Amino acid sequence: MEKKIVIIGAGPSGLGAAYRLTELGYKNWMIYEKNNYVGGLSASFVDAKGFTWDIGGHIIFSHYKYFDKLIDKLLRGEYIEHSRKSWIRIKDKWIPYPFQNNIKYLDKDQILECLIGLYECSGRIYATKNSQCHSERSEESLSFVGTEQCSVPTVCNFKEWIYSTFGSGIAKYFMIPYNEKIWATPLELLDKHWIAERISVVNFKRVLENVILDKDDVSWGPNSTFKFPLYGGTGGLFNKLLPIIKSNLKLECELSEIDIEKKTLKFKNGLEDNYEILVNTSPLNKLIYSIKNADSKLLEASNELQYVGAYIVGIGIKEKCPSKKCWMYFPESNSPFYRVTYFSNYSPNNVPSGEYYSLMCETSYSEHKKIDKDSIIDETIQGLINTGMINDKDRDKIVSTYFIDAPYAYPIPTIKRDNALTVIQPCLEEKEIYSRGRFGAWKYEVGNMDHSVMQGVEIINRILLNENEKVLS
């Protein structure tokens, strides 16, 4: 007989797991979602004026053939393909992303400062193999400047990694202020091992060549091209899974208690259920807090899981879009937001007509950085003026403002995170509870949309087909 599988959360990971169960012809399962909609952080909303809004800047790009096939099956060609046009606003200038690849756009004294810092980093041979904390630089960067040996402090956290990798100039103008803005957390509390393809690590030779030869260097990264649904925002993609899973889906069911010995679930609306295998895609710390008589070591470990919330402010403007940019980064203190997206450029159907455009602005908050929820819309509009995105006269053209509070936006890859997860995940799996997804696995580095869907797919493959998971590894 089929064991009963229950999925908590109908975001990308939960939906990925649910889809895989239907694909395999499995019958004995249910999925519970606390909201009255599916998609989690990838849901979309339409306001009273006809503007579509996402919960932050989502785009579709992929590392996995399975995910690509699923996208094609669901969207059936109803998407738009884009080449990334991403920029950074610094010193009243637009600099192409990634910043460290395109410092040629800075003033000459700033370029020199960045080059000297990067040169000094590239010329060092870092600590010994026996050190637990050491910097890593590529052979390519070392070969250009020789093997000059310097006394280098060990590098144990993200802030130290930034300075040891890029030098003081790039750190000062972009890396430090931007990351402080998005993480809303002291950078010395973050680990450095999550970086992978999240940050372009360039060598001195490449940057110098870009400056001397006046070359743009904008193709870095897996999202240099991306897709976006033609209709319904990002949520338009995941809503297409509803007909496939609706007979096994219950909405407006927020988990309140788990008895891991009896394998029973209680929900805030009074509903109860039992399970034999539980797949959780809700925030891992909330899952642990809901466990009846939870082990003290689980509770202690869960307290080490830190996260960032985000306020999403949508601004709808009655005017044709003045730019072809996709999204922009804002490291400076003259605006509250760290990123702004020309959301109307993703699909013309994100706005009522071609006579309108929309800006989607994201501001992080955390226990380390408090943001006034009541004033964030006004502060966002003023920030758009301060950064030259709009001018003061454009206030009269604003026809819609939309606000979303996402209390769980990013799981923070802190220094203590991995130790906490090595306690939590084995304890849960001993009780046949598998926690996956951006916040279920609590790994930002594999928290993109494709990663999240595939985590759901792969945990079902592991449970039913005894296959190894690849995304988390």
| Residue 473 binned pLDDT confidence (cut-offs 50, 70, 90) | confident
| Residue 149 binned pLDDT confidence (cut-offs 50, 70, 90) | very low
Q: Where are the beta strands (DSSP E) in 298-397?
A: 307-317, 327-329, 339-342, 357-365
| Whether residue 262 is found in the same domain as residue 201 | no
User: What percent of the chain shows pLDDT beyond 90?
Assistant: 86
Question: Is 124's pLDDT higher than 70?
Answer: no
- Which residues are within 8 A (CB) of 259 and not within 5 positions of it... i.e. 6 or more apart? 292
- The domain boundary, picked from 212, 237, 269, lies at 212
Q: Is the peptide bond before 186 cis (omega within 30 degrees of 0)?
A: no
Q: What is the pLDDT of residue 193?
A: 86
| In a domain? residue 471 | no
Q: For the domain that residue 282 is a member of, what is the CATH number?
A: 3.50.50.60
- The domain boundary, picked from 411, 439, 457, lies at 411
Tokens of 122: 């590239």
pLDDT in tens, 341-388: 999 999 999 999 999 999 999 999 999 999 999 999 999 999 999 999
| Whether residue 279 is found in the same domain as residue 318 | no
- The answer to whether 327 and 339 are in contact (CB under 8 A) is yes
DSSP notation for 79-148? EEEEE--EEEEETTEEEESSGGG-GGGS-HHHHHHHHHHHHHHHT-----TT-SS-----HHHHHHH---
| Whether residue 26 is found in the same domain as residue 147 | no
| Whether residue 374 is found in the same domain as residue 422 | no
| Whether residue 298 is found in the same domain as residue 334 | no
Question: Is 5's pLDDT higher than 80?
Answer: yes
| In a domain? residue 79 | no
Structurally, the chain folds into a number of domains equal to 3
| Whether residue 167 is found in the same domain as residue 32 | no
Q: Which residue's structure tokens are 């007979």?
A: 247
The SS3 call for residue 255 is strand
| Residue 151 binned pLDDT confidence (cut-offs 50, 70, 90) | very low
| Whether residue 330 is found in the same domain as residue 393 | yes
| Whether residue 272 is found in the same domain as residue 180 | no
Backbone angles phi, psi at 143, to 5 degrees: -65, -25
| Whether residue 114 is found in the same domain as residue 177 | yes
| In a domain? residue 58 | no
Q: Is the peptide bond before 336 cis (omega within 30 degrees of 0)?
A: no
Q: What is the pLDDT of residue 131?
A: 43
The SS3 call for residue 185 is coil
pTM (predicted TM-score): 0.92
| In a domain? residue 240 | no
| In a domain? residue 32 | yes
Return the higher-pLDDT residue of 216 and 257. Answer: 257
DSSP notation for 374-398? TTHHHHHHHHHHHTTSS-GGGGGGE
Question: What residues form DSSP beta bridges with 87?
Answer: 96, 328
Single-letter residue type at 341: T
| In a domain? residue 231 | no
- For the beta carbon of residue 209, count every other beta carbon within 10 angstroms: 12
| In a domain? residue 227 | no
| Whether residue 404 is found in the same domain as residue 420 | no
Q: What is the pLDDT of residue 137?
A: 37
Of 162, 152, 22, give the one whose Cα is nearest residue 100: 162
Can you list the alpha helix ranges (DSSP code H) found in 218-342? 235-238, 242-245, 284-289, 296-302
Distance of CA 472 to the CA centre of its chain: 16
pLDDT in tens, 31-69: 999 999 999 999 999 999 999 999 999 999 998 999 999
Question: Is 147's pLDDT higher than 90?
Answer: no
Domain of residue 422 covers 5-36+251-305+414-465
- The answer to whether 450 and 470 are in contact (CB under 8 A) is no
- The answer to whether 435 and 302 are in contact (CB under 8 A) is no
Q: Give the integer Cα–Cα distance in Å for 50 and 46.
A: 6
Q: Give the integer Cα–Cα distance in Å for 2 and 441.
A: 26
- The domain boundary, picked from 212, 238, 267, lies at 212
Query: What integer best gives the mean pLDDT of the chain?
Result: 92
| In a domain? residue 142 | yes
Q: What is the pLDDT of residue 197?
A: 59
Give the chain's end-to-end CA distance (angstroms, integer).
Answer: 31
Of 32, 25, 28, give the one whose Cα is nearest residue 8: 32
| Residue 309 binned pLDDT confidence (cut-offs 50, 70, 90) | very high
The SS3 call for residue 291 is strand
CA distances from 88 to 13, 174, 268, 431 (A): 31, 9, 44, 47
| Whether residue 175 is found in the same domain as residue 317 | no
Burial grade of 216 (CB within 10 A; 0-12, 13-18, 19 or more)? exposed
| Whether residue 286 is found in the same domain as residue 419 | yes
pLDDT in tens, 183-203: 999 999 999 988 865 677 777
What mean pLDDT is predicted for residues 432-440? 98
Q: For the domain that residue 368 is a member of, what is the CATH number?
A: 3.90.660.10
The SS3 call for residue 295 is coil
- The answer to whether 255 and 290 are in contact (CB under 8 A) is yes
Q: Which of 219-228, 269-278, 325-334, 405-414 is predicted with the least confidence, judged by mean pLDDT? A: 219-228
